[in-house]
Structure 1
């Protein structure tokens, strides 16, 4: 099976690339060639920029694939380019959407692909993903474009310390703050439900979809079945770091009053309880089962960071923002 990954070296896709190569799939990665250290053995790099349609077409000239997966399409314009590039040149096109596209707030906390609508008034990122899905399903219905949609939820790996509030460029900041005994903000009361999925578990379900003709025209989410409260998540991060974190609960509304950019990530995603019914992916890929509990997965992550001290950097601006919000909350002052 010949498979093209557009991207293929990101947080989620690197685990899928590794497993696909291990299973003997002939894997091609189409990207700018800047992260060769994350390319699995046996994969072939096609250097190019998918955002430059003409040069991408030239780089891909003469290739045909059984499956094309775009890991870095975020808008309908991105997807339209893919449709034009790969129509008639692949038997399956997989679009990476997002579980944040599901209805917010949810009418029922258990999410299914057919039973939960796609509607997110809080996050443009999610609305763009919904628009991409709508475009692909229209192309499938009207022209037979062989689209499959996959909706990951919060998926982490060795290089990411997942939390509702952390510094994206310096994720070690959260652990450093915990180890210093500084207060750690948890949105809400810490009791809403959430699902963390390790990228190696996600990869098992995803690789099972490759080449599955019965998946054409269908959407799947792929997540762990483990359900945790946010307090449990932060406690597990602390335990992996060898400390008991000092948790401070602050409402999402208060947090958003200090940083409006949190609206999408909180009200549009992590502040809403999310429990996923994975029956659909398991019916198509019976061998799929998420086997790495978060408590064990986050230990691996902490160990990876400690083995790479150059990545154990702190974001001082983020720390200052956390301190400022906590001080304001303690004093009863709400910005705005």
Structure 2
């Protein structure tokens, strides 16, 4: 019997990381270690939870075992400094560093869908307010990762997901609409819903992450993660009707009116977010779940969660 391979997940207790842990447990070929602040314990059999802040160099050296790491999977690096501190401080050695980046590293483009070689951000985006630095810093973190892995003769894999949806999602995306439907509140969408969006179901993302572990086909490469479906606000409403089995009559407003009323729609009102996930899908021979099927499973989880919460009142 072969020894299990050691995996270190940095972050990993929220949303996508949590699903990755669940998928890894099924594999039964890894020793899974998770390093995070412990705000949301996983409490999964066979998962070793290590408590600490990634910015605390002494803590990293103290609690992370000094062993050979088959791979690191980093869900919560947001700056090049985050990458640098982890690699410099990490006890032991690592073979592969898988970094969960973002599709927002790209410059705005009319060449759609956006592919991996599209131009990257060269500065922050002030128009995004509190998220002005997010995509730019993620891109800078990618650059730092490539540099440091080359120095240490390790390999890197960068994954850039489009809009992720599914169970454990703490961002008010699909749940924004589910809540409105639950409360019989009106749904507002743009009166000219021309924007199209790429999505990825969280379980598909997790399975792709797992398929990248130790896979030479993805060494020293960067990939988008996106399903083939292109979804508009109108299409989103159609899918909501199907999965909730309710007739919806959304209110339409102009982009200016939506902005003036500060209606918190979760996706851009008049800007495409279209990314090609073809490169990774072909490399790993993977097919994403259709958007409607993924949303149906997401809504089933939402209903289960609502029922559970009511039972605890």
TM-score with structure 1 setting the length: 0.77
19, 29, 34: which one aligns with 2:34: 29
Deviation, structure 1 residue 217? 2.4
Residues 181 and 245, structure 1, Cα contact 8 Å, conserved in 2: no
Deviation, structure 1 residue 219? 0.6
284, 288, 292: which one aligns with 1:290: 288
Match of 1:330 in 2: none
Match of 1:12 in 2: 16
C-alpha distance 307-219 of structure 1, shift in aligned 2 (>3 A): same
**What secondary structure is seen at the aligned counterpart in 2 of 1:276?**
coil
Match of 2:305 in 1: 308
Residues 172 and 311, structure 1, Cα contact 8 Å, conserved in 2: no
Match of 2:196 in 1: 193
1:58 aligns with 2:62: yes
Residues 234 and 245, structure 1, Cα contact 8 Å, conserved in 2: yes
C-alpha distance 271-101 of structure 1, shift in aligned 2 (>3 A): farther
C-alpha distance in structure 1 between counterparts of 2:140 and 2:147, whole Å: 11
Deviations 1:82-131 (CA, angstroms, capped at 9, x unpaired): 22124871001111110122222x221212112x2222734321111112
Deviations 1:197-255 (CA, angstroms, capped at 9, x unpaired): 21111122211111124433211112212222221113312432232333234455554
Structure 1 regions of 5+ residues with no counterpart? 314-336
Match of 2:94 in 1: 90
TM-score with structure 2 setting the length: 0.82
Match of 1:326 in 2: none
C-alpha distance 57-142 of structure 1, shift in aligned 2 (>3 A): closer
Match of 1:148 in 2: 157
Q: How does 1:1-336 map to 2 (within 5 A)?
A: 1-24=5-28, 25-36=30-41, 38-86=42-90, 89-104=93-108, 106-114=109-117, 116-119=118-121, 121=125, 122=127, 123-141=132-150, 144-160=153-169, 167=172, 172=175, 174-187=177-190, 189-252=192-255, 254-257=257-260, 271-286=270-285, 288-291=286-289, 293-309=290-306
Residues 305 and 312, structure 1, Cα contact 8 Å, conserved in 2: no
Moved more, 128-137 or 304-313: 304-313
**What secondary structure is seen at the aligned counterpart in 2 of 1:300?**
helix
